[in-house]
Amino acid sequence: MATARRLDEVVPGVLVATAARYTTTSTVVTGFGAGGCLLVDPALTTDELAGLAAALADRGLRAVAAFTTHPHWDHLLWHPALGEEVPRWATARAAGSMRRKNTELRAEAGEHATGPSWPGAFAALPDDATHLPWEGPPARVVRHEGHAPGHAALVVAGALVAGDMLSDLEIPLLDLDAVDPVEDYATGLDRLAEVLRGPDVRVLVPGHGHPAGREEALDRLAADRRYLEALAAGRSIGPEQDPRLADPWLHGEHERQAAAVLVR
Ligand SMILES: [Zn+2]
């Protein structure tokens, strides 16, 4: 039996586990009858996935539904101990992308795709579905194309489960395969700003990094807008303007984005 992982309750009924690599979060939303829960972006190593299953079992929880925020390998993993028959949802666009790019995603996942954690098919959420079809606390789906095709955040139980947006550690990472990645990202931020201005959110859970209250979430959003504006204007930007760029990996991603935006 795997060692149960730590789960932090960020608002009542919303628990977050944080994986070692990329500070990747997985979110658990309780409240479907006795012990049923929704699992968002389970991650990351096989041991961590088994540990997540053990943590749920320890609390008398079992996954009855799952959601993947976007079609990147570190957000679509699974483990049999989490349940064999759990419906796993993604937006129709994200599900289509995962199907088409399965081989590529599997190569990117490397050792994490071996064994039991590589996923089977996802259930495509109809484009007109405003909420996840589960009977726990209402989970509103906020779609945009900011970071990956068919990206969606969930607004559920007072939390904004944002996927790969609004991170304290990562700069905005654009979908450079899109026709207008900067515009897509800006639109994504606008959608999230609207959610954060509304009454439904007390806490933000980013896909990588640390959960934050609403004020800090708005600060992150402003920082992301500043980064995006500098990128679009071709202005040089470094760790003095955006401390997240002190990370060598993100600095490299930034250079790649800056070059890609320039040639458009
Ligand atoms: Zn991602």
User: Over 9-53, what HEC string results?
Assistant: EEECCEEEEECCHHHEEEEEEEEECCCEEEEECCCCCHHHHHHHH
Give the residue from 125, 75, 66, 119 showing the smallest Cα distance to 96: 125
**DSSP E strands, the chain:** 8-11, 14-18, 25-32, 36-40, 62-67, 88-91, 123-125, 139-144, 151-156, 159-163, 203-206, 212-213
CB distance 16 to 156 below 8 Å = no
Task: State in Å: Cα 164 to ligand 1 middle.
Answer: 5
Q: Walk me through the domains of the chain, giving residue ranges and CATH numbers.
A: 8-168+200-217 (3.60.15.10)
Task: State in Å: Cα 101 to ligand 1 middle.
Answer: 14
Q: Measured in Å, how far apart are the chain's first and last C-alpha atoms?
A: 52
Amino acid at 81: A
Task: State in Å: Cα 29 to ligand 1 middle.
Answer: 21
Task: State in Å: Cα 60 to ligand 1 middle.
Answer: 30
Parallel/antiparallel/unpaired status of strands 14-18 and 151-156: unpaired
Task: State in Å: Cα 233 to ligand 1 middle.
Answer: 24
Preceding peptide of 44 cis, ω within 30°? yes
Task: State in Å: Cα 85 to ligand 1 middle.
Answer: 25
pLDDT per position in the chain (264 positions), as tens? 689 999 999 999 999 999 999 999 999 999 998 899 999 999 999 999 999 999 999 999 999 999 999 999 999 999 999 998 899 999 999 999 999 999 899 999 988 876 665 776 789 999 999 999 999 999 999 999 999 999 999 999 999 999 999 999 999 999 999 999 999 999 999 999 999 999 999 999 999 999 999 999 999 999 999 999 999 999 999 999 999 999 999 999 999 999 999 876
